Structure 1
């Protein structure tokens, strides 16, 4: 016989899962609207398969850096913590889906809409002002094109057995690492009361520093 307390817990868990799925769908659809039409069409057509691969990929890697990211949330209340984790997870999952999608000649610039949506939401979570025009310029030039491409080689260095991993897995690794690092550096700077767009050099340094930490953490595993 199922106790009422067990049933309530089960119902609450189910409701939380539904809410999280709806939250992701909203995030994903918002990103697709800002994607190039051709790329968005391919991502949509391969969504079920790509999402399954992306979820499995994240399930195998999601626990690696949790402790590292927690230091960025010192003094942050539980609700804000939850929203930060959720937002960055949505972005990272979307980045992985893009990484696994069969897009010919896919470019790091496809990460821009994902990262902009993530950053915009993180700014709102912390009650900071957001300038989308400025953000688009800074994100596209600094994060994705500049840092993103220059870091691809370094990111691949700490992918286990990189020579045997399928192309999709490599793309997903690069996409999620860059996106997750960007998300948590954004959280850290907002939590410290800094504005990324007024402190680009600080942001660049912290971004590179976090990726370096990710490399070292992975090597210890």
Structure 2
């Protein structure tokens, strides 16, 4: 997740958004847990005779790359909302739960797009 956290920090900087690193880490950790389930699928394929380690490793790398791109697109959507002054709590502080919720919704949307794109090929 260090690469994804760094990417999220750079995206935030591009939008001129200062986001608490702990909040980003929490959001990214949630996303990582989601990816862990997908990684298991690639690891299970490594056990299939004839497909082996190379095939399972290639699937893991493809999933990781796609997932990293999805994280970036989802975080960009969050930064747009933050730039518009949305996602603030009652006292004006960032509403981390709303940020997390929007991020996960956007991430699901991006992953769905990846699945549709993969089916088209």
TM-score > 0.5 by shorter chain:
yes
Question: Is 2:23 aligned against 1:134?
Answer: yes
Which position in structure 2 is the counterpart of 1:144?
Answer: 32
Question: Is 2:25 aligned against 1:125?
Answer: no
Deviations 1:20-73 (A, max 9, x none): xxxxxxxxxxxxxxxxxxxxxxxxxxxxxxxxxxxxxxxxxxxxxxxxxxxxxx
Which position in structure 2 is the counterpart of 1:182?
Answer: 71
What TM-score does the superposition give when structure 2 sets the normalisation length? 0.69
Distance 2:14 2:67 in 1: 21
Instruction: Note the residue ranges of structure 2 that are not aligned, 5 or more in a row.
Output: 43-50, 88-94
Give the total of aligned pairs: 102
After superposition, where does 1:146-165 map in structure 2 within 5 Å?
147-152=34-39, 163=51
Distance 1:192 1:169 in 2: 35
SS in 1 for 2:12: helix
What TM-score does the superposition give when structure 1 sets the normalisation length? 0.40
1:200 to 1:137, Cα distance in 2 relative to 1, 3 A? closer
Distance 2:41 2:112 in 1: 9
| Coordinate RMSD, CA, aligned | 2.6
Larger Rg: 1
SS in 2 for 1:199: helix
Which shows bigger deviation, 168-177 or 120-129?
168-177
Whether the aligned pair in 1 keeps the contact of 2:78 and 2:99 (CA below 8 Å) is: no
Which position in structure 1 is the counterpart of 2:113?
Answer: 213
Distance 1:210 1:204 in 2: 10
Distance 1:152 1:167 in 2: 9
